[in-house]
Structure 1
């Protein structure tokens, strides 16, 4: 049976305001403690679920400075939050960020497996290697891992995680009260993993969920990050300024998956993050966009957060009208280096001062997804039909705006037949059209001709 391709949507709540929206919390519709308010998150999740979104995505980091965005300064830990939301939602997928650089594999794999069972197969893991270099200091390290080490660890970590999730074959627990047999011990498997970075015996003391494993997402844009996503990612979070850039990324990742790693490229769902603004008319929406950008991201806020890609270097100490200090690029070597280099190259090529460089990050590039509900729907379909993506992660900023996305844009997509009218699956894999992974031990037994 051929499954009709449909647009996938994720909702990304930023509470009191993330990067680029330092003063979002001034909106009276947002509780001033939204980032630690479970009722606020539950309200966002319920609205997204009413809009039949595939998933709710919780981003995370574990290092802050006084200049960090308000949402970063005080927010709930993703897996704890998502476990709470599992009991207050029914269908929407629940995806959280967790780092492979600063988590013990067995512990993190067990926590995600638990979320997957609690939610009955709706869990997803956004695999990150941590770009905030200062995080190392919170885990007893003097320096953050270099790029090659970070991505080498991540590759082994995900493979290890999947092996642990396969510790029990799906019918391992007999639970037969008449015979007194609880477990078929032949279907519990010790791992005995000893790799370059990790040593874990196993087995994991947790059965698989209805979707087999949590869905693995990845969001790196460096060459190593793209290889990691192409090799292990099932969902890819990214950013693209326009359709040609989206198509280039789409073709690159899916080509790597197919050609380098022998994967079915249809088993990777690519979802760029976008900003949507809905108005009664296109002109009104543009006015709202400009007003919100100026209100949510002042120059002072932009300067304060400017140092994040450079290892949170403090740029407030420099003369704003002197040439951009290009030597600071080296400070981003173990942080968000790809982003830091792009900023530095642009500043040097244009001969900008520090002030001009910061302004360039603050002056918003007009989003393509701004206008009336019809205009926004048209643009979403245009990107999707052009294979610039398989869907979108929509940032949840001003509540009234996200309400309009659900109430006005979603019905248009549904009428056009490119978006589900209702959920037709109960798991995140089902929403995304991804196959349930066969337990490796069951597959091996079948391959050897052993009854399963």
Structure 2
């Protein structure tokens, strides 16, 4: 073929752009490891210092992360006194912090965890719509149902709401919030000084929602968000959680130990989308990853060993007990897990209970070995090695149907995040797996998610699917 013909061929058939992964920076201050606050390079005294969060958010934005992500809960770990004494139990409220971070960042998404169990839809819809305006379209809501009796006792209850009922309420809660976001048309605001018309009343409608859990008239007193809807994130991996995610979520944060488990979850949830009129690329699945990075394998191994040495025994047992919703303190720490309740009897996080039980059974781990394994990643995948080795492991999952991206969980801060940005991100970029510049201005632009049209109703599957745990 002549050079001219070859050139013409290339112009008419440009090479397809390689699919690129998405990254979230999961902030747990001063790091995800239960002993992070004791690590020599961790800034433990800055857990409530805005300047520290500003530094972290700007570091993640320098690394072109899609979003920063804040977990949240509504109680301290009072069930286990050692956990209160030996671990970090304070954190800023997400809306307040993310609103402040919106003023010191420009492109990175701002994702906050808010429970559907202990809030009302109108409050949540209004706050996220406001955050979307403050950030010029970068807000995201991580939908959770809460998980502990301690949280229930802070909201006029003695016991936590039952698992299936929590998810049923969450499903209706998300519906009400999205209806409220859509209660204003995109062009409802007129600002017409001459005609004395601030808004077109015909484009502002009450939602008149009447359901099992909520009666909400609306409309919202914030105009339709810049993104239409702030991005909806979900983290459950139980059957009700997967069904809720398939119907409502645009991003899933999830936890898996093996490639095979992650592939099964990925195919399962993506396979549920069609019955809700959704396509596979309308949902991004981003497993959590806990990276321990060294410039050499030896350095990475030394960091891991030091973190394990810093775990107070009582704090390790308390952490594991809380994750499986079962008190392990009476049992020998160097013995196996005792006989645990059946999954149906667990009213906390069912998917995390099953994941950790399976891990202990598969590798025959003692209680101590198990809490050492999960003290950082808390059931998410732990990867250790050089920047190239870390990139290899992310690439394997991304290219083999296990993930659309990853929620990065630095073991300690700020160093763990800085190492990922300075060492791993350039390696991913060199391989063409990650962006070098942001694609757009909103979080939806950068995640590759379409802006929903106004007054879109989330479709129901017919018949409604009811899956028992």
When normalised by structure 2's length, the TM-score is: 0.85
Cα shift at 1:289:
2.6
Contact in 2 for aligned 1:425/1:431 (Cα 8 Å): yes
1:120 to 133, 136, 139: 136
Contact in 1 for aligned 2:102/2:135 (Cα 8 Å): yes
Cα distance in 2 for residues equivalent to 1:350 and 1:282:
23
Runs (4 or more) in structure 1 with deviation over 6 Å come to 345-352
1:243 to 259, 267, 277: 259
Contact in 1 for aligned 2:72/2:93 (Cα 8 Å): yes
Contact in 1 for aligned 2:319/2:371 (Cα 8 Å): no
Relative to structure 1, is the Cα distance of residues 223 and 393 closer, same or farther in structure 2, using a 3 angstrom cutoff?
Answer: same
Cα distance in 2 for residues equivalent to 1:261 and 1:116:
26
1:126-179 per-position Cα deviation (integer Å, ceiling 9, x unaligned): 100111232111100122111211110111111111000011101101111122
Contact in 2 for aligned 1:309/1:332 (Cα 8 Å): no
Cα distance in 2 for residues equivalent to 1:220 and 1:372:
31
Contact in 2 for aligned 1:368/1:379 (Cα 8 Å): no
Relative to structure 1, is the Cα distance of residues 170 and 350 closer, same or farther in structure 2, using a 3 angstrom cutoff?
Answer: closer
Relative to structure 1, is the Cα distance of residues 71 and 97 closer, same or farther in structure 2, using a 3 angstrom cutoff?
Answer: farther
Q: Helix, strand or coil for the counterpart of 2:207? A: coil
Relative to structure 1, is the Cα distance of residues 113 and 71 closer, same or farther in structure 2, using a 3 angstrom cutoff?
Answer: farther
Cα shift at 1:397:
2.7
Contact in 1 for aligned 2:39/2:307 (Cα 8 Å): no
1:198-236 per-position Cα deviation (integer Å, ceiling 9, x unaligned): 111100001123211110000101111111111111000
Q: Helix, strand or coil for the counterpart of 1:127? A: strand
Relative to structure 1, is the Cα distance of residues 414 and 323 closer, same or farther in structure 2, using a 3 angstrom cutoff?
Answer: closer
Cα distance in 2 for residues equivalent to 1:183 and 1:303:
58
More displaced 10-residue stretch of structure 1: 364-373 or 59-68: 364-373
More displaced 10-residue stretch of structure 1: 337-346 or 152-161: 337-346
Q: Is 1:357 matched up with 2:382? A: no
Alignment partner, residue 27 of structure 1: 39
Relative to structure 1, is the Cα distance of residues 385 and 197 closer, same or farther in structure 2, using a 3 angstrom cutoff?
Answer: same
Contact in 2 for aligned 1:299/1:362 (Cα 8 Å): no
1:1-57 per-position Cα deviation (integer Å, ceiling 9, x unaligned): 987521100101211355xx2321123433333221111111110100000000000
Q: Is 1:221 matched up with 2:237? A: yes
Q: Helix, strand or coil for the counterpart of 1:429? A: helix
- Unpaired runs of 5+ residues, structure 2, are 1-13, 458-469
Q: Could you say what the CA RMSD is over the residues aligned between the two structures, in angstroms?
A: 2.7
Alignment partner, residue 337 of structure 1: 350
Cα shift at 1:73:
1.3
Q: Is 1:385 matched up with 2:395? A: no
Cα distance in 2 for residues equivalent to 1:400 and 1:106:
39
Relative to structure 1, is the Cα distance of residues 136 and 330 closer, same or farther in structure 2, using a 3 angstrom cutoff?
Answer: farther
1:56-89 per-position Cα deviation (integer Å, ceiling 9, x unaligned): 0000111221344666511101111111111111
Relative to structure 1, is the Cα distance of residues 379 and 146 closer, same or farther in structure 2, using a 3 angstrom cutoff?
Answer: same
Cα shift at 1:351:
8.8
Aligned pairs for 1:229-308 within 5 A: 229-258=245-274, 260-295=275-310, 297-308=311-322
- Unpaired runs of 5+ residues, structure 1, are 443-452
Relative to structure 1, is the Cα distance of residues 14 and 118 closer, same or farther in structure 2, using a 3 angstrom cutoff?
Answer: same
Cα shift at 1:125:
0.5
Cα shift at 1:316:
2.6
Alignment partner, residue 435 of structure 2: 420
Aligned pairs for 1:3-152 within 5 A: 5-18=19-32, 21-64=33-76, 65=78, 66-68=81-83, 73-152=89-168
